[in-house]
Structure 1
């Protein structure tokens, strides 16, 4: 099982693989910038999306999908965010990640939390 570290935003249960002091968040176990970690941390959604889209990380990688979902949600594309998190949840290749608060959680759990947090709100908004 692959083990990576993940930065989970305190207000939302979404991730970006990272291990570094809070001032300089970067990916751990991936090419730097491949998951848009630093851009997500600073709220630069365009740069984050560009980094994720141009990276060589497999499109089915759950960490990539979780981060892409975060970008989509933050840029008013909730349907795309939910789709990305559902794909992350459906991945057969989950692995443990370390959250910003030092907890170890499966990428499956991170995807489940993102969906639980946002799915109801998105459904309500589209009614």
Structure 2
């Protein structure tokens, strides 16, 4: 099973890989920075964007990357781009289980759908 650690949208849900050992980075099974996870967690959205753009060639259609890129775009006020990334992750031919910080397992398509719903609620609340 592929594992990934991603940051959910708006609700601040942290998703993490299912590895049993503590990891030095939030990106399990990826090169450090490939998912921009640690930069997102620390609130460094510009660095997260740079990392996610740099990993596009290797992980262009990876749902974990798409969700984190959507999260980054949402934080930067690029809501249209964020919605496109979440939708792409939902429609990806790849999907895998992610583990929420609270231990709950969620499919990457469901995580992307939740992120899109949260983004839509944020936009509606403006």
2:70 matched residue in structure 1: 69
The answer on whether the counterparts of 2:13 and 2:100 sit within 8 Å (CA) in structure 1 is: no
What TM-score, normalized to structure 2? Answer: 0.82
Do residues 11 (structure 1) and 23 (structure 2) align? no
2:52 maps to 1:38: no
Contact 1:14 1:67 in 2 (8 A): no
The 3-state SS of whatever aligns with 1:105 is strand
CA RMSD for the aligned pairs? Answer: 2.6
Counterparts of 2:49 and 2:17, CA distance in 1: 15
Match of 2:110, SS state, is helix
> Counterpart in 1 of 2:53?
53
Report the TM-score, using the length of structure 1 for normalisation. Answer: 0.81
Return the offset for 1:21.
5.7
Verify the 8 A CA contact 1:57 1:64 in the aligned structure 2: no
Q: Residue in 1 aligned with 2:115? A: 114
Q: Deviations over 1:2-56 (max 9, x none)?
A: 331424459334657696769x542001111100111000000000010111125
Q: 1:8 to 1:51 in 2, by over 3 A?
A: closer
**Is the Cα–Cα contact under 8 Å of residues 7 and 98 in structure 1 kept in the other structure?**
no
Q: Which residue in the other structure is 1:78 paired with?
A: 79
Over 3 Å counting, the alpha-carbon distance change for 1:35 and 1:5 in structure 2 is closer
Q: Which residue of 2 aligns with 1:99?
A: 100
Structure 1 residues 15 and 101, CA gap change in structure 2 (3 angstroms): closer
**SS in structure 2 of the partner of residue 112 of structure 1:** helix
Q: Distance in 2 between matches of 1:120 and 1:46?
A: 24
Give the secondary structure class of the aligned counterpart of 1:94: coil
